[in-house]
Structure 1
Amino acid sequence: MTENKTRPTGDDVAALLDAIADPQRRADAQTVCAMMARASGESPRVWSGGMVGFGTYRYRYESGREGEWFITGFASRAAALTLYVMDGFPQHRELMARLGKHKTGKSCLYIKRLADVDVQALEELVTRSVAHMRGAYETTGEARG
């Protein structure tokens, strides 16, 4: 069975965020990092590909492939700040309606700037997603305080 290429790296989260060239994107990433730490109760870890993840969960597909992934996380990409909302968006319609300017993929939420969204709705979205993931999967991670 092949192993996931995406995994925690041990790199320093603060250094990764400090290296974001655009000052506004850097500040937004630091705000999202603090928000996800609150919502998850987990410490951030850098994952390969420049992602910051919080906690982990174990998954297993019908094919037998299994692995670990973060419960929630984000990455600063060229086009947008990408937030990983692992349980998807259909069950969060009311929060998505309040959120403001964004785009979505299956479990990716793309935001150009935090100023474009309702940050309270965003934190509630992440908090609900984390709760869902913990209820649906075997989760691991080192909880903070």
Structure 2
Amino acid sequence: MYELKTKETDNSVIEFIEQVDSPKKREDAYKLLDLFTETTGFEAKMWGPSIIGFGSYHYKYESGHEGDAPLVGFSPRKAKISLYFAPGETKRGELLKQFGKLTTGKACVYINKVADIDVEVLKSLINESVSFLQEMYPAK
């Protein structure tokens, strides 16, 4: 049986951010922490060893695979900062066009620094993701 690696933990978000090597990336992590907390209204929690997540939802796929995940989150990784949100493909595409300097993966958006992006668009992406996931996976 597949064991989900990214689970909510009791590790300290502040301690994790304080261990980020780059002072600039650490400063951006604190900016994002404030922005995500203010926008979602959820307390930051560590998910796995390196993702700072906000809120949570329980998903179950047709395959039977199920688990819990944060509604939104970020991780100040060595190379880039990873942002995690899922505001539906159409809305996501529209918002990312206005977002600023980024690269994208399947589920992540990567930025070099907060100064490269439009913070108001980030707030919209966060809000859209929370709404989309809460609608798609309503709490039971």
**Fold equivalence (TM over 0.5):** yes
- The residue type equivalent to 2:92 in the other structure is H
Ranges in structure 1 where 5+ consecutive residues have no aligned partner: 141-145
Distance 2:20 2:115 in 1: 18
Aligned-partner SS, 1:86:
coil
Query: What corresponds to 1:100 in structure 2?
Result: 100
CA contact (8 A) 2:72 2:126 kept: yes
Aligned-partner SS, 1:138:
coil
Please tell me whether residue 27 in structure 1 is matched to residue 27 in structure 2.
yes
Query: What corresponds to 1:84 in structure 2?
Result: 84
- The residue type equivalent to 1:83 in the other structure is L
Ranges in structure 2 where 5+ consecutive residues have no aligned partner: none
Identity of counterpart residues, as a percentage? 35
CA displacement, residues 45-83 of structure 1 (integer Å, 9 cap, x when unaligned): 011131111111111111111111111111111111000
- The residue type equivalent to 1:131 in the other structure is S
Query: What corresponds to 1:48 in structure 2?
Result: 48
CA contact (8 A) 2:86 2:92 kept: no
Query: What corresponds to 1:122 in structure 2?
Result: 122
Distance 1:83 1:53 in 2: 10
- 4+ residue runs over 6 A deviation: none
Query: What corresponds to 1:8 in structure 2?
Result: 8
Distance 2:92 2:5 in 1: 30
TM-score, normalisation: structure 1: 0.88
Q: Given the superposition, is the C-alpha separation of residues 2 and 92 from structure 1 closer, same or farther in structure 2, using an over 3 Å criterion?
A: closer
Distance 1:21 1:34 in 2: 20
Give, in angstroms, the shift of residue 88 of structure 1. 5.0
Equivalences, count: 140
TM-score, normalisation: structure 2: 0.91
